Structure 1
């Protein structure tokens, strides 16, 4: 069924689930102990670290021409998907639009941003439309309010999308895709008229998500504007401490936790048995709230033990949760992209379902379920979650060194224990434990 995410069950795991849980918890604690013993001073470099790209290449990458070209292509593709949603086959299994939105775009934006940087900031078609519409309205009277809003609007925008993806019963209907894309564009273009072009960085959930993931890419930008190649962990720590950053990360983390929860027998035979929007909405919000509560508790306790203002700790450590959220995302969506992602290219050969049309000779193909084995899927899932948490521990330790110039175990232990809970909970939900 579409949007089942193709996540393996615990029977796919080639080792007992108990061993995986114990091993994951031990890996987090062991990495923490090693850091305390051998990582006594900052090692990752500051926001201005990295090797600059050649000046000529930077001029090309920062030029208006390439950006406008990418945005124009993205606009044409988006318009095409909407047309297919409205005029293509009514059956979800034969309509390209749901697969293009929920699989190719939503899942594909992660590897694209990891490899290439904040691609959606460059290719966002709404930016191009805004420039065309900007002369028709006032000169951004609300632009001065954007810094105070931070990333809170993007967190809300992303929450709306994950609600559609995970909760709304008719999410896979082609008409739903068309209505969502058009409504999303209309709302954000209207808000951009008021707040200015800076709205997209602060309020467009997809652009903020791509930018967040790109913090772990090898590409970065120094404070002087120079593009550099640098340690991805340094890029994550250089994430600006904006209001709402923690909320954005926790929406991603909590929504993937809910995604795993909906696969458990307890949910399917209990709270989620009705498969309605109300129980799903409550479950999604409670999942995000639980994850957020544990994170805030861990960071504030760590701050109190370190003698620091505990109120600023959730924002200070927000960037350290980026690899954890990314690990959850890879674990939940890897098989979806590898298996169900094939459907996009199959249907692209005949997007409107016309008789006798097969543009690329793939329309009669079936999804190759053997392209990635169940063992590989399960190992990627476990590896992604454990790696994400280990990297998160490293970043948290580095952040503690930068903020206090000391790294006592007692100060960091509450946050590390929360990460262990996230690891065990994430693996347990992922494999239906």
Structure 2
């Protein structure tokens, strides 16, 4: 693909706006709200006891598959493949040309950030298996005779997921706000700082640091909870996605992670809306300041609205109200996945193909190392706006319905019986607000 088209795709993130959505906005919103209300009503009547239990849910996977995925050879093979790909892309970042056709940008923004979602849903926690930081840390530990699981210090549990939330915010800031986000130099520097921090953190706190502080691993592992693959007593099991979602480890900062993921996706759509574009173009306020404030407001706003919806309920003597946002934060994961599909599907499919083509020529010299340089990009999705529209709206609605189910099961488990239904109303209102706002932004972009 030539430079003009590739650049346009990368800068626009491939997000289809109103022209791609030949469905009345009012009809989409009405249908989505009705789906949420009906789902909640049905759950209130038919789902009065918790159904998900990590200790019993799921059935054992085939023995041969469990042996394969738990074998040292399998884990080493994944790490080697992941690290070889990391070195290949790093070579493009260091020695390739500073242009939009450098595959480093496509790998970073497309295959890594957006591609982690379908990969993790289908295969499980992909980044944990191929993370270059984990690989380097494991090799250094092997050389020094130490255990990569154990660092010099114990990871402070009070930090929880907050370092990952900060790291995720740093990424979305680079992608959505930083004015030079499509230049190789700044992105390369960001990646170098990320790798450096991960290696220092792994040396200090062991692999626990990656589980809580690596933004990409936390992102991938959260989304992977919507896959059918899980573990129980060290063995691979097959679970329903919602049963797997219920196993998300609760720790401080989890609501911060989902707020950044959800809020940044909403902001990415909002900044393409015509009223906002007109305001930015006509105001005397520097656009950089406006964009920074808007991204922060979206992320913090999502967190505050969700936290308020969770905390506006009665609690029992064994539950602290301040912990409820983190306890229910797992219910936002399917909503995040739904919005990522709605906002980035075209971008992933079409610019992802472009990136695969560009990967064959990492130094822009006319090479064809991977044999993909002559492949043609398929624009089927862009040529079928009706199908694309229904898929986008359907993804948003399904994500919210699954979120309501996940929240309901957690509520009937931890809330006092007298508050199990009425206590969910405030959270339902928050989810309705997210649905209406999300669909409006999807149509307004």
Please report the TM-score for the alignment, with normalisation by the length of structure 1: 0.92
1:288-327 maps to which residues of 2 (within 5 A)? Answer: 288-303=299-314, 309-327=320-338
* Structure-2 separation of matches of 1:56 and 1:408: 42
Correspondence 1:414 to 2:423: no
Contact residue 52 and residue 226 of structure 1 kept, 8 A: yes
In the TM superposition, residue 269 of structure 1 has moved relative to its aligned partner by 2.0
* Structure-2 separation of matches of 1:12 and 1:162: 25
Aligned match of 2:214 in 184, 190, 204? 204
Partner residue of 2:74?
Answer: 66
Q: RMSD across aligned C-alpha pairs, in angstroms? A: 2.4
1:246-285 maps to which residues of 2 (within 5 A)? Answer: 246-271=255-280, 276-285=287-296
Indicate the SS of the match to 1:43: coil
Partner residue of 2:32?
Answer: 24
Aligned length: 430
In the TM superposition, residue 235 of structure 1 has moved relative to its aligned partner by 0.8
Partner residue of 1:153?
Answer: 163
1:81-160 maps to which residues of 2 (within 5 A)? Answer: 81-92=89-100, 94-134=101-141, 143-160=153-170
Partner residue of 2:443?
Answer: 431
Indicate the SS of the match to 2:230: strand
In the TM superposition, residue 329 of structure 1 has moved relative to its aligned partner by 1.4
In the TM superposition, residue 362 of structure 1 has moved relative to its aligned partner by 4.8
In the TM superposition, residue 421 of structure 1 has moved relative to its aligned partner by 0.3
Gaps of 5+ in 1: none
CA distance 1:298–1:67, change in 2 (3 Å): same
CA distance 1:366–1:231, change in 2 (3 Å): closer
Aligned match of 1:225 in 222, 228, 234? 234
Partner residue of 1:80?
Answer: 88
* Structure-2 separation of matches of 1:195 and 1:138: 12
In the TM superposition, residue 127 of structure 1 has moved relative to its aligned partner by 0.9
In the TM superposition, residue 208 of structure 1 has moved relative to its aligned partner by 0.7
| More moved, 142-151 vs 166-175 | 142-151
Gaps of 5+ in 2: 1-7
Contact residue 272 and residue 279 of structure 1 kept, 8 A: no
Partner residue of 2:5?
Answer: none
| More moved, 300-309 vs 95-104 | 300-309
Partner residue of 2:205?
Answer: 195
Partner residue of 2:196?
Answer: 186
Contact residue 169 and residue 276 of structure 1 kept, 8 A: no
